[in-house]
Chains A and B, each alone.
Chain A
């Protein structure tokens, strides 16, 4: 039962990072894009799905709360202020989707909220992971670090790193989902972001070696675990090839694979601890009766249902969102709901929708 909830938690966090990762990334890139038509085009690539993506943060939070209450209370105590700022950022960027179209004079406020909120949320998630890797000050199962106990240069480094990572994911999404100028700009940035992410991972690795972090011990003990970093390396090579050949779909999946590899690496580094080197999974788990109670409702029905609707919404909106001013048109075969593989491979990706 404990392992069931560990799996659910891992899947939820991973889905959150991948899904909200790209739309936070689009938010950060949005801040770097000055002109309105491109901003609109960027927004419409994430508009139908961004709020569904953020549900996974709620799921991860609730699973922690219900199944691993010790971890939930420790993390929320340790990251009290940063998580507060993250929520404020997510709230502001969420309303910006609608509010920016309600005004022209004050649109800059909502554009700033959108880009700033995305940046803050990404930074804080990265910083929190960095602080966990370095180890939180915990004694007797309680966080004792005070308001800024999580803060360290390494946490800041990881915060910046995740901003780069999410931007990279966002750029890949734009390459996959948009056309024209937006896609070109995304391609251009993608190169720099990919190099930036690699540089960041290298710095983290060197730092971890130099600072002799405890997480490194596990890799020395069990070298076969290096399969995860290896997957990341292979994905990087395929990503580079995709960039050279300009295959629009490939980069997103490869960067997603890099994220999966990084997540797997973290999980293995932490195992069997949930909060490294102070709280193990067994210690953190709620009593069996609570876990079993949640299993029959949330675990068995709600979770699969959420996976299902996520899959459905992505398949409904799988087409490119074209924003050029032309009549609503269907280019290439497949029809609106067509699943023809040929159509998916052609430039138009099934259906090209335009708004008049």
Chain B
């Protein structure tokens, strides 16, 4: 199970990153403001540097604590060493999205992606060398990495949606104009609170249940369904297998106790 997961991830993670890069090219060409916000680039640069990390400040139009790599920005944006890359200052402030959120969420997303790539490749390598079972550190890291894809999806969503502002339909319909005319502030606030509560509630439990499922680990061999289909939930096989194992364990303990 672990092997299959690692090998799949080792192949799929680069594919995912490649498609992410294609999406980035699309944003670069068609939504230049969003791209500049994600890059944290305030002014036009040629060749452009890539801000690896920093805290963008909309007041001063600069990045605090910035760590930049020269030329990498042009390479990321246009696959060239010399290209000119557009900065946020080219757009009036009312055409710009909030900068901080897409800037940070994008970095979290890419970070999750690179981390998963590293885990998948190191894990596959160790697995091929038959050394994975001795490497407790890697096994634990892989186990604890289960929230990464969810985190990457969510932060990616934040990047896309916040970065798209102030438009609902990019360049055509502003978010302020897309509002339901009759929508009262109270109703809107209430709906936001309800969504947050419901999602927090089910995500908290969901994460916990996934954790427990992983903690129990794959037990025994792959469970094949019986020859005739049983109308039930997909996950029911797992539940019953665990339940059966637990029962078996209890019975075995009883027998030992009885034998003495």
Contact = CB atoms under 8 A, between A and B. Distances in A.
Interface of A: 44-45, 47-48, 73, 76-77, 80-81, 84-85, 88, 91-92, 95, 97-99, 101-103, 142-147, 316-317, 319, 321, 328, 330, 336, 351, 353, 355
Contacts of A92: 198, 202
B141 interface: no
Contacts of A144: 182
The interface centre, meaning the residue of A88, A146, A319, A328 with most chain B CB atoms within 10 A of its CB, is: A88
Contact of A80 (B183, B213, B229, B230): B183
A88 B184 contact: no
B48 to A, nearest CB: 39
Given A77-B180, A316-B229, 14 more contacts: A44-B231, A77-B181, A81-B190, A84-B191, A88-B195, A95-B206, A101-B236, A101-B239, A102-B212, A143-B182, A317-B229, A317-B231, A336-B229, A353-B228
A251 B183 CA distance: 43
Contacts of A47: 231-233, 236
Contacts of A102: 209, 212-213, 239
Contacts of A98: 209, 233, 235
A330 B213 CA distance: 32
Nearest to A49: B231
Contacts of A73: 180
Nearest to A101: B239
B81 to A, nearest CB: 42
B205 A99 contact: yes
B184 to A, nearest CB: 5
B191 A80 contact: yes
13 contacts: A45-B231, A47-B232, A76-B180, A80-B183, A81-B187, A81-B190, A99-B202, A99-B209, A101-B235, A102-B212, A142-B181, A145-B182, A330-B228
A149 B212 CA distance: 46
How many chain B residues sit at the interface, stated as a range, is 20 to 34
Contacts of B213: 102
Contacts of A44: 231-232
B186 interface: yes
Nearest to B230: A353
B260 interface: no
Contact of A321 (B180, B195, B206, B231): B231
The interface centre, meaning the residue of B186, B209, B233 with most chain A CB atoms within 10 A of its CB, is: B233
Given A76-B180, A99-B205, A143-B182, A81 B228 contact: no
B228 A97 contact: no
A323 to B, nearest CB: 9
A84 B181 contact: no
A73 B232 CA distance: 38
Contacts of B227: 336
Interface in B177-201: 180-184, 186-187, 190-191, 194-195, 198
Contact of B226 (A143, A147, A317, A328): A328
A48 B230 CA distance: 9
B182 A142 contact: yes
Contact of A147 (B186, B209, B212, B228): B186
B133 interface: no
A316 B232 CA distance: 12
B130 interface: no
Contact of A97 (B183, B190, B233): B233
A353 B213 CA distance: 27
A226 B105 CA distance: 60
Contacts of B184: 146-147
B245 to A, nearest CB: 14
A95 B121 CA distance: 34
B191 A355 contact: no
